[in-house]
């Protein structure tokens, strides 16, 4: 398994500002992902964070809005840019270790006013 931490755990932000969420894993992992989960909804993949190269975004998500970094095999950041109330959600980091399943971090609860 993997121990994953996310910072911040929750935040309240003003419209038009940006928030950077950090994800730290206790061991090297092959893949890191960022998901969004609206209250009562399923998990929607935003992007795959690639170490040393640009992230791979899913349909409906763009780099200008959700820039992602992954400088090494244990750390990644997701920035939610120019926020609007529609960005209010839970943002989850997940990781996959070689040959295993995905494990999720505790999530970041974001409220945009």
Partner 1 sequence: QQPVQSPQAVILREGEDAVINCSSSKALYSVHWYRQKHGEAPVFLMILLKGGEQKGHEKISASFNEKKQQSSLYLTASQLSYSGTYFCGTLYSGSARQLTFGSGTQLTVLP
Interacting residues with partner 1 (CB under 8 A) = 1, 31, 33, 41-45, 48, 92, 96, 101-107
Closest separation between CB of residue 13 and partner 1, Å? 20
113 vs 109: CA distance, rounded Å: 13
19 or 105: CB nearest partner 1:
105
DSSP-derived secondary structure letter, 86: G
User: Are the C-beta atoms of 103 and 1 separated by less than 8 Å?
Assistant: yes
Closest separation between CB of residue 2 and partner 1, Å? 10
35 or 87: CB nearest partner 1:
35
Cis amide bond preceding 8, omega within 30: yes
14 or 42: CB nearest partner 1:
42
Q: What distances in angstroms separate CA 93 from CA 7, 25, 40, 70, 89, one per listed residue?
A: 10, 10, 18, 12, 13
Closest separation between CB of residue 9 and partner 1, Å? 11
């Amino acid at each position: 398994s993997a121990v994953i931490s996310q910072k911040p755990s929750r935040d309240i932000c003003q419209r038009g500002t940006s928030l950077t969420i950090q994800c730290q894993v206790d061991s090297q992992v092959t893949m890191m992902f960022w998901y969004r989960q609206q209250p009562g909804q399923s998990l929607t993949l935003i992007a795959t964070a690639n170490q040393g190269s640009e992230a791979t975004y899913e349909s409906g998500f763009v780099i200008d809005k959700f820039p992602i970094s992954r400088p090494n095999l244990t750390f990644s950041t997701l920035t939610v840019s120019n926020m609007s109330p529609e960005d209010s959600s839970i943002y989850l980091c997940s990781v996959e270790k070689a040959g295993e399943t995905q494990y999720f971090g505790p999530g970041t609860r974001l409220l945009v006013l």
